[in-house]
Amino acid sequence: MAEKETKVTMEDLNRELRGYIAQIEALRAEIAIIDESIATYRTVIKTINNLRDLGKGKNILIPIGAGAQIEAKIENPDRVVVSIGSGISAELTAEEALTQIAKEIASLQALRRTLEEAIVEAYAKTEELLEKTRELGKEEGKASE
């Protein structure tokens, strides 16, 4: 009878262990999405700065999909329309837009750090559960002898 109780406990430990592993994988996926967003924001920063460097009146090619491009002229490189949330956009100066984007990046980086901390905690719990599983396995081995 005691052997059956031990087996259930081992199953519980394994179930909990799988839960933490799934949590770690989900957190890593979230971090990957955040990293993509940060990379996109950094590309926007480079684009704004490059357009400002080119200056008013310069012709540029804008990609429109499937390898096609259309010619356009820079009219006002200091005017940037930025999404401010909930489907609303606002016209900002390039400096204001860069500041807004920097804030978004900082916010994403803070969220990323929080998720990394959660991963560290989940790893610690995983190690703890693995140790309990090893101890229980040893106890089961001694009981079966």
* Mean pLDDT of the 5-26 span: 84
pLDDT > 70 in the chain, percent: 92
Predicted confidence (pLDDT) at residue 136 exceeds the cutoff of 90: no
Give the DSSP per-residue string, 38-81: HHHHHHHHHHHHHHHHH-TT-EEEEEEETTEEEEEE-S-TTEEE
pTM for this model (two decimals)? 0.80
Structure confidence by residue, pLDDT tens digits, 29-86: 999 999 999 999 999 999 999 999 999 999 999 999 999 999 999 999 999 999 888 9
Q: Give the pLDDT confidence score for residue 111 in this predicted structure.
A: 98
List the domains of the chain with CATH numbers.
Answer: 2-144 (1.10.287.370)
